[in-house]
Structure 1
Amino acid sequence: MASSYISIEGIARRFPAPEGGKTTIFEDLWFGMERGEFVCVIGHSGCGKTTVLNILAGLDEPTEGAVIIDGKAIEGPSLDRAVIFQSHGLLPWRTVLGNVAYAVASKWRDWPKAKVEEHARKAIATVGLAGAEMKKPSQLSGGMKQRVGIARALSIEPKIMLMDEPFSALDALTRGTLQDEVRGLCRTTGQTVFMITHDVDEAIYLADKIVLMTNGPDARIAEIVVNPLPADRSRHDVHKHPAFYPVRNHIIDFLVTRSKSFAAELATPGKVWNRRSPPLVTPGAPDPTPPLARAV
């Protein structure tokens, strides 16, 4: 775990309960991410997914445990970690260019204005908004606003991208287009991504690994699904891959049934579960066991 690029080590988050005592949102979470991995987290509302993201962003602190990134513990927010929220969070009085340039100027404070704007324009063009630089958020569609948010995040060239259901408020067509764009950009740049989603198909299409969390309070990481689909998968062909439905059915079965019965499952005699090393599962993968050699 310690050798991972991002190492989440035994974190818990507790809040004061109205009746006294503490409410534990999640407890003893352990998992790691390698540089360049795209990881999605799935779990029912209340399991603490957004809290984990906020801890990674440095916007919150764990009650216990630590998060290590590239060998250093997180100590507050950093421009090395960009956050894309469900809401685009644009400054309404600034133009598209102004919103992105503001982020660029925050990262490189000694750059002249011309260089800041040039860099911002490149990021805007990357998300397909060239020509819309002087428009204000009120003049943009929902999908265009979210594109500006992505451009703003990309413009500071972060080491890690943190995304909290960034496409959930969009219509299906726009959501699919932005998923394609984000996946292409992340593959091109080698970006490390931690993303929260409730959309199983979205997770299968985007992620290298899918972290499954049990229901809260007292949520845990039940297992980590290793996506067996090829890295160069296409949206139009992904559902044709023989592993697609085994992976999808496995995740849906977890959300419908196992996320609720996980505690009872752990109490099953002979059940072994190591919190420090959640099981890696690969539904639909070919059996790696070689066939028995024939007797000669």
Structure 2
Amino acid sequence: MTQKFISIEGISKRFPATGGGTTTVFEDLWLPMERGTFTCIIGHSGCGKTTVLNVLAGLDRPSDGAVIVDNQAIEGPSLDRAVIFQSHALLPWLTVMGNVAYAVSSKWRGFSRAQVEEQAQKFIALVGLSGAERKRPAELSGGMKQRVGIARALSIAPKILLMDEPFSALDALTRGTLQDEVRRICLETGQTVFMITHDVDEAIYLADRIVLMTNGPQAVLAEIVDNPLPADRARNDVHKHPLYYAVRNHVVDFLVTRSKSYSDAGKAALDRRNPPLVRPGMPEPAVVGGDSLTSSWPGSSRPSTSQAG
């Protein structure tokens, strides 16, 4: 990677255990993310994915380590980081405009009413809810409520958009439509995104990189999968890409088999600062005089050396 916009540096999380001692949920996680990239993290329940997201949001503190965003350590919640939860978390007494405007006025306290509504309207339109500004949450479908949550999050121009399985409670058609909207918006705005999902196809469709975590307790980052699909991808064409099934099979194999096979010794043997960077289906790069001759998608698996430090 060329620039660490977000840098997770050696974070661990421990909780008091029943009967004394401590339980380590995850330990010594290192992960850099570039500005404008979409990162999905996948792992079985109990590996600490949501805790990692809460640390990024400033809602929780790591037991060890730190998270640096745009050269500043995270010390607590900030309007520079917006979170979209599994539930929409809208204020039921406010309209669509009111919910989004509330976020805008919190970020820019000097804005006039007209400026607040102009900013809110821009993002209400961006998620396709023009005409629904005066409706309250009780008058909206589940998909529309999530659209309001997305508009509210994006309206404050966050440095990072954090999403905790935001589409998991929706029907398949609505989920697909919102995935398309999020993909379009992120491409248009250059938004940096960190998302938790259990849906492999969702991760492949949305993400630039897919981070795989071993099972907890004492979970660690096992691999970072580079997504070979082009940035400008269409849902109907994703499965036609020649490397789609190589990526999908690799991630599914990890979740079904390999994630469960890491012993304590196996986890200890991993290079925590440089999780393997994996490109399924691609040949190893040619090496001449010690330097790799790389194509646009070189190597099937090699250390992500630029993450060190």
> Secondary structure, in 3 states, of the residue corresponding to 1:237?
helix
2:277 maps to 280
Flag structure 1 segments of 5+ consecutive residues without an equivalent: 291-296
8 Å CA contact 1:228–1:284 kept in 2: the answer is: no
Indicate whether 1:211 and 2:208 are aligned. Answer: no
Matches of 1:14 and 1:162, distance apart in 2: 22
1:76 maps to 76
The one-letter amino acid of 2:270's match is W
2:97 maps to 97
Q: Give the CA deviation at 1:229.
A: 1.1
Q: Map 1:25-104 to 2 at 5 A.
A: 25-104=25-104
Matches of 1:2 and 1:206, distance apart in 2: 21
Matches of 2:226 and 2:283, distance apart in 1: 13
Indicate whether 1:222 and 2:222 are aligned. Answer: yes
Matches of 2:150 and 2:194, distance apart in 1: 14
Cα pair distance change 1:181/1:286, threshold 3 Å:
farther
TM-score, length-scaled by structure 2: 0.90
Identical counterparts, % of pairs = 74
Matches of 2:26 and 2:266, distance apart in 1: 16
Q: Give the CA deviation at 1:39.
A: 0.2
Q: Map 1:156-195 to 2 at 5 A.
A: 156-195=156-195
State the number of aligned residues.
288
Matches of 2:187 and 2:245, distance apart in 1: 24
Matches of 1:75 and 1:11, distance apart in 2: 14
1:121 maps to 121
Matches of 1:215 and 1:204, distance apart in 2: 21
> Secondary structure, in 3 states, of the residue corresponding to 2:124?
helix
The one-letter amino acid of 2:78's match is S
Flag structure 2 segments of 5+ consecutive residues without an equivalent: 288-309
Cα pair distance change 1:216/1:264, threshold 3 Å:
closer
8 Å CA contact 2:3–2:35 kept in 1: the answer is: no
Superposed CA deviations along residues 160-180 of structure 1, whole A, max 9, x for unmatched, are 100000000000011001001
> Secondary structure, in 3 states, of the residue corresponding to 1:280?
strand
The one-letter amino acid of 1:266's match is G
8 Å CA contact 1:40–1:209 kept in 2: the answer is: yes
Cα pair distance change 1:67/1:95, threshold 3 Å:
same
Superposed CA deviations along residues 142-165 of structure 1, whole A, max 9, x for unmatched, are 000000000000110111100000
Runs of 4+ residues deviating >4 angstroms: none
Superposed CA deviations along residues 218-252 of structure 1, whole A, max 9, x for unmatched, are 10000100001111111000001110001000000
Matches of 1:126 and 1:250, distance apart in 2: 35
1:135 maps to 135
Matches of 1:237 and 1:22, distance apart in 2: 48
Q: Give the CA deviation at 1:285.
A: 2.7
8 Å CA contact 1:36–1:191 kept in 2: the answer is: yes
> Secondary structure, in 3 states, of the residue corresponding to 1:262?
coil
> Secondary structure, in 3 states, of the residue corresponding to 2:262?
helix
Matches of 1:265 and 1:199, distance apart in 2: 29
Matches of 2:202 and 2:265, distance apart in 1: 28
> Secondary structure, in 3 states, of the residue corresponding to 1:236?
helix
Q: Give the CA deviation at 1:263.
A: 2.1
